[in-house]
Chains A and B, each alone.
Chain A
Amino acid sequence: DVKVTQSSRYLVKRTGEKVFLECVQDMDHENMFWYRQDPGLGLRLIYFSYDVKMKEKGDIPEGYSVSREKKERFSLILESASTNQTSMYLCASSPGTGGYEQYFGPGTRLTVT
């Protein structure tokens, strides 16, 4: 079974703090993704990566950056957290390109106060 893990299930941070969300997958997948999910807005793609050290902006990259130094690990960074970044953050991975299915981690519910 594919396993995608995320570093925290719940996180509370203060405005202006730097926040790191980590995601690890154990299936040697090429692609990794970060989404946020908000009520009424669905899943929105923040960034994705199709190879080590490669990254591409998704639909809402503003206020976020990412890092992929190893194939199995994809980190999402909030340089200066703001209250409008309070959300559920979901990491996913998929094998290769061409429309494969994605496997999700359990999510991190981030609250910025």
Chain B
Amino acid sequence: RKEVEQDPGPFNVPEGATVAFNCTYSNSASQSFFWYRQDCRKEPKLLMSVYSSGNEDGRFTAQLNRASQYISLLIRDSKLSDSATYLCVVNGGKSTFGDGTTLTVKP
């Protein structure tokens, strides 16, 4: 079993839709969590950190559920420009990246 698992998708949604991704992790001692966005043939870029209390940045909301060991990313009112691969990162002494979930937003 992988340390960090994501549904690879692809998720194909219409503009304006709400979409949610989950990421499960196996190391219960993990301490920090992030979501990255990676566009095709580009490097990953930090989207947002994930805090125990949850955090929101515009249309994006990240949540952490320590009891069930998963983090989530919710995107509301999807835009065409949200099309990308979303990677979750879990730090438990070292950073472990998920393989990513691909999102395609269609007109």
Contacts and interface: CB of A to CB of B under 8 A. Distances in A.
Given A42-B99, A42-B100, A99 B91 contact: yes
Contacts of A102: 46, 89, 95
Which secondary structure dominates where chain B touches chain A?
Answer: strand
Contact of A99 (B32, B45, B87, B98): B32
Contacts of B94: 45
Contacts of B44: 43, 90, 104
B102 to A, nearest CB: 11
Contacts of B21: none
Interface string A26-48: 00000001000000111101000
B31 interface: yes
B37 to A, nearest CB: 11
Contacts of A106: 42-43
Which secondary structure dominates where chain A touches chain B?
Answer: loop
Contacts, number: 38
B43 A99 contact: no
A103 B100 contact: no
B22 interface: no
B99 A107 contact: no
Contacts of B72: none
Nearest to A43: B97
A43 B87 CA distance: 10
Contacts of B89: 101-102
Interface string B45-76: 11001000000000000000000000000000
Interface of B: 31-32, 34, 42-46, 49, 87, 89, 91, 94-95, 97-100
Interface of A: 33, 40-43, 45, 90, 98-107
Given A90-B44, A101-B89, 8 more contacts: A33-B95, A40-B99, A43-B87, A90-B43, A102-B46, A102-B95, A104-B44, A106-B43
Name the 3 nearest CB pairs between A and B, nearest first.
Answer: A99-B32, A99-B91, A42-B99
